[in-house]
Structure 1
Amino acid sequence: MSHKTEDQAWLVEQLQFIAQGIGKTLSPFCEVVLHDLTDSENTIMVIENNLSGRKVGDRATELGMARIESPDFPQIVANYPNQFPDGRTAKSTSIGIKDKQGNYVAALCLNIDISMIKGLQMVLNQFSTLEEGNEIIETFSSVTEDSLKKRIDEFSATYSVTPRALKPHQRRELLLCLQDEGYLSLRKAMEITAQYLGVSRATVYNDLKE
């Protein structure tokens, strides 16, 4: 039978909302359990994302009983290995909550299903794998006048010169890069490029043809 003071009852009531909120945030990978440590026979008050098969009213685990027996037991036991009844690996954290007198009133426990995380990790790794040796053949970025000029600046920087100081063969290389990377699809791209390079449009067209 639970015998809580008014302050203890208020504290446990507020912890129920915390447990529910964490459970909704970390669903479905993390089981969140709130234990009422003032009632050693029926400690589980809240269980969100039930992964262990326990139910409200069940008794505490060994950690919970240790806190009930000793207020000196560590308040936080974090990231310790655990196991669900069906054998799945879990990573658990147990947080003890004390009242003003230093007595344990409740415990908030998080049990993460590592097997679910590992499965998701495998899917993400497979999903993000690219074929080796394949070059990028398209880009989804929008070409703008600013991005065109920025690309010209970047190219010029590889030769440690300004765009207007590019030599004819460097200009031709630049134009081929701009064409391959889709920058010349921009409306008036050739005109913008010519002005930025300080040459005529005819020069730019001729450079591209050579």
Structure 2
Amino acid sequence: MTVEDPPDDDPRKAERDAILRALAPVVEGVAATFGPVCEVVLHDYRHPENSVVAVAGDVTGRSVGAAMSEIGMRVLARGDDADDELNYVTRTGTGRTLKSSTMVLRDSAGTVFGALCVNVDVTEVGRAQSLLAALAGAGGPPADAPVTTFGDDIDSVVDALLDTHLPPERTWAGLERSRRLALFRALDERGVFAVRRAIEQVAARLGISRASAYSHLSQARTDAAPGPHPTSEGAHP
């Protein structure tokens, strides 16, 4: 789904803008409290391609105007049913380990329209923990956390999600129909098609036509649920 903004004269639009303005100083304050290992990011999901409206700290390298990560896409896919995700661990593409929390923002009607995210770089903590565990004979480090793509460019995020679900050794031509539909279903569940022009990007990467991509997405949604799927700007011609 996409977050549709109410008309300019709707008080909910002004309410959302006011919430984001009020949280901007919080972004700076939390980052300053935890120091250089902390990054705080404020997202406005009404603009998924450049959802970052405030950022303090430099853990993922993003700036104002940057795109959301796949975590944000997952929130978009869940819509108003999205919950806060607290104290989860992920890794950046450069191998840094992050402990993160994503807190959804809602207006007075309960509509999710953004998120406040905190990322703490715990890479060095993990290394120290592994060293102490090795010295104590307690075994090696825990299993790797999943890699999350953070970047200013939404296309890189979509590409990363596509690579996750379509390994390099597999091609579109090499997938039977059920796996093709499963690929589109997985991307849809992660909010990829809420992003403007994502369907064209996915079609180009797979080497298929835009019409074929829309057809597979429609069929994947039909198979997933008997009722109508929530509409999204990125999922219709």
Q: Could you tell me which amino acid in structure 1 is paired with residue 76 of structure 2? A: I
1:74-120 CA-partner distances (Å, limit 9, x unpaired): 1x101111112310111111110100011112211111111233568
Equivalent residue for 2:81? Answer: 72
Q: Could you tell me which amino acid in structure 2 is paired with residue 71 of structure 1? A: D
Q: Distance in 2 between matches of 1:84 and 1:68?
A: 21
For the residue of structure 1 that corresponds to 2:87, the secondary structure is: strand
Q: Structure 1: where are the runs of 5+ without partners?
A: 126-210
Q: CA deviation at 1:66?
A: 2.7
Q: Select which of 86, 92, 103 maps to 1:95.
A: 103
Tell me if 1:6 matches 2:6.
no
Q: Distance in 1 between matches of 2:22 and 2:52?
A: 15
How do residues 21-170 of structure 1 correspond to structure 2 at under 5 angstroms?
Answer: 21-69=29-77, 70-74=79-83, 76-118=84-126
Contact 1:81 1:92 in 2 (8 A): yes
Q: Distance in 1 between matches of 2:93 and 2:55?
A: 16
Q: CA RMSD in A?
A: 2.6
Q: CA deviation at 1:63?
A: 2.3
1:157-186 CA-partner distances (Å, limit 9, x unpaired): xxxxxxxxxxxxxxxxxxxxxxxxxxxxxx
Q: Structure 2: where are the runs of 5+ without partners?
A: 7-12, 133-237
1:40-75 CA-partner distances (Å, limit 9, x unpaired): 12101112111111221111112212333411011x
> With CA pairs under 8 Å and 6+ residues apart, which has the higher RCO, 1 or 2?
2
Give runs of ≥4 in structure 1 deviating > 3 Å.
1-4, 116-122
TM-score (norm 1): 0.52
The share of aligned pairs that are identical, in percent, is 30
| Paired residues, number | 123
Q: CA deviation at 1:22?
A: 0.4
Contact 1:35 1:108 in 2 (8 A): yes
User: Which one has the largest radius of gyration?
Assistant: 1
Q: Distance in 2 between matches of 1:90 and 1:116?
A: 10
TM-score (norm 2): 0.47
For the residue of structure 1 that corresponds to 2:28, the secondary structure is: helix
